[in-house]
Structure 1
Amino acid sequence: MSGPGQTGWLARLFGNRPKAPDVPRVRGAAELPAAATMDRVGTFLTRRGYRFRVDEDGDITGTWEGHRFWFMLLGPEQHVLQVRGRWDRSVPPDARLALLQAMNDWNRERIWPKVYTREEDDRLAVYAEVSVDLEHGATDAQLGQVISCGLGTGVQVFSSLGSLLPPPDDEPGPEA
């Protein structure tokens, strides 16, 4: 453990480290972070060839691998980009324990996405979320990484759950 005057990871984390020398930046050499906006999210999705629409709240929504996803900017200053997906299945309440065990295993073993369930129309709906605070902006590559992470890991968890739980019975699908 580090004490005063030592350079352990906690000391480095909380600023007890020598200041790095100022390095001059060459304009145009690197992309500077810009505010996250729904226009930038839409531009990324369009460049990737994805189809989507903008809902009445101004959020971007679309379907990936059959699952509904939303892209939202949250928080008082709209700095938190959230990619939220809803599994294309829902589960009867009597399967709650198996579903919760599978989701708990996922959440314990992986960083992304956060997975949770909500009751909807007397069934259990499953959601996956990746949320990143972009208060200081993001480059196009960083923004794209958040979006790709949210979509990729969301689809991955839904596929995983589908292989662990019994096949679906007749159930209502997610709202379009």
Structure 2
Amino acid sequence: MVRMEGVTPGFDDPLGVLRACHRRIAERLDLLERLPEYVELHGADASAQSAAQRVLNYFDRAAGNHHEDEEADLFPMLRRAKGRQGWDDAVPAALEQLTAEHERLARRWAQIRPSLASLARGEHTATLSTEALVRDYRAHMAVEDELILPVAAHVLDHGQLQRLGVAMQRRRGLSPRDSAGETAE
């Protein structure tokens, strides 16, 4: 299948959707990384407000769906695929680590969300500490991108990938038969 850079895969390629989510998360992390210094120099101007709102929009909605895609569907499928051709014995420990990290990432997000919400409303925030969330998310996604998704591509069969895509669509309120061409957020 030919993939064009910047084109989001559809749910018929659920692993591609997860990778695309990682790209969008990375873009928001880049914003978060630059935002504290920007706010220190320019205050809560329109650019800072817009950046804060983009981060809020993504992490309030799509990031939760992404974590649920993994914990409710992908990770259990991988656990059941243990021993198949392409399996890596590092996967079970990584899945436990990633699940625990989802909880830590949610706590870190809850810590910075109020400051971002204030900033999005144009209120200057004296403390916008994003380093821990940015660092932890990047390390988390690296394990998924370098171990979990490549193993999943080798050990999950077509039927499992199809079920994963359908579950992801339903989580987003889409009907599988009505979502031809729909992309994930």
TM-score normalised over the length of structure 1: 0.34
> Which structure dedicates a bigger proportion of its chain to strand?
1
Normalised by the length of structure 2, the TM-score is 0.33
Larger radius of gyration: 1
